[in-house]
Structure 1
């Protein structure tokens, strides 16, 4: 979607929970921007900056054929019980990366009750939760982790589909020539790979938020693969800022700079840390990062 006939200053690349069944990609992109732009306007407004022209690089429709219907929305995503043994192992590895207590024997990590591991993490982050809020939080985060696993699989396991997603995102960035790209969740992986695959694309500022780039199951599949354990900044990126909520279990471990050449690694607290793009867009850290590029 192009607002007012001018090129956008900001391109958003979405993560999980963004599919709109039955909507054309352009319509879905416009609706998703309309959903989250008020939060960006709110955070920039605190710095007396008007929200810039913003578009969404929408690709969720390209993943649908590889996802079960239950995983296509936040309300309907499946829980840990729906995972097969390989997925359970990946989920346990994911929770371990977030800091959950695991068995001493790494061969038995998949046998650790996943909800027990997740419950431990929730208790560490929210020890004052009531029992009802604690259970609600565990269930919601459980759906987020399952949806993330499924969408990572849908994106990385089918080369042709992966290429289609990257072509879609590259097309939006090439058309809009934005100063800033804000990539959320799985979108940070998609954007990293897209900018590597299309080195002619130039972006003054890349902001990754809620990024799972260091999640083991995704890191092993990254294209291009790490070099001697390190990632490489895409050639066309000027500055790279990473922001992770302290409670975001998708952005684990939160410091991308330990593996990737980010220029700034920031942590924030958007509330309960449920991984939403709106929470990040409404945070003053993000507003401050993009302010020099959009004002």
Structure 2
């Protein structure tokens, strides 16, 4: 029963609650320190871990084969990769854009996207297989009801009548938003979203439950305050301001995360995040 519930994003299935919390908790305290606030007790923070929902069962021999461009399913998986490519190319000079001719003749546009994304800050050092796997995980969340329900159940199981703050990163912000909408009877709490793709039309926004109406999304009843924090170079959080679609009560804040624009740790260590966390927990020692 903790005051702060953290919610991770995609591609964390081989980790767990404690290993993720071991990385997130010090960064969260660093952000509070930058804001001039006291650190949180570790016992007051918990991780809503849902990565295991996507962890496949063990296999004999060498296990499942790696994924490549030919394994990308048409529809959402393909659209996600192309969307990330376009966004990365618009932000980073070293990433060739879709309009530029490919240096190598590749059999599919998807392969060009994977080749280009390998040069991006977000996917630097990430294998082609893991890029495809990341897109697949998002697709499965939105298209497989049992997966969606299992993921949200892990989050809901962490929220209690003592929870005051939810801090959610990347796809975790989608999980938190949908679950908060589905539980209007929960106590009032504050939501902080980091690198959120919630506002991305067609790929995410239009797939949310409850379904947005007339370009406006429903406000999650338990949320008394919502701060959305993004880096201008974050290719996942393509829409930087959520207030126009989710409600003017949202405070949209910009931060600078350096080369790792989507990584959760620089988001957490940012002074702006620390201020939002301190304010949510009614801490009064924030610096002016």
- Match for 1:54 among 42, 45, 58? 45
Residue 171 (structure 2) aligned to one of 176, 179, 186? 186
What's 1:284 paired with? Answer: 271
Using the alignment, how far apart are the partners of 1:258 and 1:50 within structure 2?
33
Question: 1 or 2 for the larger relative contact order (CA 8 Å, sep ≥6)?
Answer: 2
The structure 1 residue matched to 2:7, chosen from 13, 25, 28, is 13
- Larger % of helix: which? 1
> Which of the residues 186, 198, 222 maps onto 1:213?
198
Q: Tell me what 1:156 maps to.
A: 142
* SS across alignment from 2:216: coil
Q: Deviations over 1:116-137 (max 9, x none)?
A: 76589x5xxxxxxxxxxx7x96
Residues 204 and 239 in structure 1, CA contact (< 8 A), matched pair in contact too = yes
Q: Secondary structure at the match of 2:152?
A: helix
How far did residue 286 of structure 1 move? Answer: 0.5
Matched with 1:4 is none
TM-score (norm 1): 0.75
Q: Is the 8 A contact 1:43 1:283 kept in 2?
A: yes
Alignment of 1:161-172 (within 5 A): 161-172=147-158
For the structure 1 residues 226 and 274, does the alpha-carbon distance in structure 2 shift closer, same or farther, using more than 3 Å as the test? same
Alpha-carbon displacement from aligned partner over 1:95-153 (angstroms, at most 9, x marks no partner): 446674556xxxxxx84832576589x5xxxxxxxxxxx7x965549777544422211
Where does the alignment leave 5 or more consecutive residues of structure 2 unmatched?
58-64, 91-96, 100-107, 284-288
Q: How well do the aligned residues superpose, as a CA RMSD in angstroms?
A: 3.2
* Equivalenced residues, count: 256
Which of these residues, 93, 118, 123, is aligned with residue 83 of structure 2? 93
Taking structure 2 as the reference length, the TM-score comes to 0.76
Q: By how many angstroms is 1:20 displaced? A: 2.6
Greater Cα shift, 8-17 or 86-95:
86-95
Whether the 8 Å CA contact 2:88–2:117 is kept in 1: the answer is no
Q: Distance in 2 between matches of 1:77 and 1:205?
A: 40
Q: 1:172 is paired with a residue of what secondary structure? A: coil
